[in-house]
Amino acid sequence: MQRRRRDLPPMTSLPVFESAGRHMSIAKAADELCLTPGAVSRQIQNLEAFLGCDLFERTHRRIALTPAGEVYWARIHASLGDIRAVTSDLSVSVDRRPLVIGSPRVFLQKCIMPVLGTLYARRPDIVVKFVTGGHDVEGLDGMVHVGETVGKKGFVCEILGDADLTPVCSPAYLRRAPPLKTPDDLENHTLLRSAEFTRNWERWLGPRAPRIFSNTRFIDLESSGLELTAAVEGLGIAIVRQKLVKQELADGQLVTLFENEMVHEHYLFMFADPKLRSESFRFFRTWLRDAVME
């Protein structure tokens, strides 16, 4: 049988002992550490039992360090001070490195870039690197993506706003195009798609997709976002997130089709719990929610 190590005390007891010795009060230590006085007393008793000596002299209304307790407290106080200092230094160095944030290309272009200046106006020292493409959230400080909230252990997933899918086209295209009364009529039209977002047409069309895909004409574009430009130019019908085309709809460059058929999804911001230790990340997270959430 492996013998129990005797060179390290119960580590959870050390901050409790240090606080009680600093305040010379069980009650004040309990208040500082958000514990009950009973829990503080038990931690100290566990430490005394491990050491085999009393650390405090106890009377009805006060405590005082024993000679052994004074020596031990001074060393523990200094050691915990060193730990706090190096932790603070490390946290500062972490806050100084760039935050790496993943985002869909068009969301970055249409929702983040127009308001990004407000981030740097409020925090000129912050450095953020945005990346697009198929990155894993575990390799990033945070990631914006589309879908439903997920309960991945150790991660936070927050809703940023709607990501509703809807077909759009220019008024000029609609005037010269064949009749378009129901989604089934799309097989007689030109649809715009990029390789990255073919799934969006499949998601919106549902069971109609195989038939319409086999009959319609597609204009395929290499990069996501180009289908939006093509739609404004009147080349066909694009499937887009309504949030991304608010300005084009307001300006009359685009019109929505079949609003009752909209597919409702969300933009989400996902990150690992430990990222919240970084002050710069917490600032960015709050800014992102305020800047893009409706």
Q: Are 170 and 249 in contact (CB under 8 A)?
A: no
- pLDDT tens string 100-131: 999 988 899 889 999 999 999 998 888 899 98
Question: Mean pLDDT over residues 225-235, rounded?
Answer: 89
Which residues are registered as beta bridge partners of 100?
Answer: 129
- Given CA atoms 282, 285, 287, 289 in this order, what sign does their dihedral have? negative
State the helix-helix crossing angle for 26-33 and 13-23, rounded to 10 degrees.
130
Q: What is the pLDDT of residue 66?
A: 94
Q: Give the Cα separation of 260 and 32 in Å (integer).
A: 56
Delineate the domains of the chain, giving CATH numbers in brackets. 12-91 (1.10.10.10), 99-161+266-293 (3.40.190.10), 165-256 (3.40.190.10)
Averaged confidence pLDDT in the chain: 86
For residue 201, pLDDT over 60 is answered with yes
Beta-strand pair 237-241/190-194? parallel
The count of C-alpha atoms lying within 13 angstroms of the C-alpha of 84, restricted to the half-sphere facing its C-beta, is: 7
- Give the pLDDT band (50/70/90) at residue 232: very high
Q: Are 191 and 237 in contact (CB under 8 A)?
A: yes
Q: Give the Cα separation of 88 and 80 in Å (integer).
A: 12
In the chain, which ranges are continuous DSSP H helix?
Answer: 13-23, 26-33, 37-51, 67-96, 105-107, 116-122, 171-176, 198-205, 209-215, 226-232, 246-250, 279-292
In this structure, what token pair is assigned to residue 100? 């790496």
- pLDDT tens string 125-151: 888 999 887 666 667 899 998 877 666
Eight-class DSSP state of 292 = H
Q: Give the Cα separation of 245 and 251 in Å (integer).
A: 10
The radius of gyration computed from the CA coordinates of the chain, to the nearest angstrom, equals: 30
Which residues are registered as beta bridge partners of 161?
Answer: 267
Q: What is the pLDDT of residue 136?
A: 66
For tokens 């690197």, the residue is 129
- pLDDT tens string 36-89: 999 999 999 999 999 999 999 988 778 999 999 999 999 999 898 888 777 665
What are the counts of helices (DSSP H) followed by strands (DSSP E) for the chain?
A: 12, 12
274 burial (CB, 10 Å; 0-12 / 13-18 / 19+) is exposed
- pLDDT tens string 240-294: 999 888 889 999 999 999 988 888 889 999 998 888 888 889 999 999 998 887 5
